[in-house]
Amino acid sequence: KALTNLAIAQHHNKEYEAAEQNYLASIDIIEQTSDRLNSALINPLKGLGATQLAI
CB 26 within 8 A of CB 20: no
Question: Residue 6: its pLDDT value, please?
Answer: 98
**Which distant-in-sequence residues (6+ apart) come within 8 Å of 18 by Cβ?**
7, 10
Domain ranges of the chain: 2-54
pLDDT band at 39 (very low <50, low <70, confident <90, very high): very high
Q: Specify the pLDDT at position 29.
A: 97
Instruction: Give the pLDDT of residue 11.
Output: 98
Q: What is the pLDDT of residues 12-34, one digit of tens each?
A: 999 999 999 999 999 999 999 99
Is pTM beyond 0.75? Reply is yes
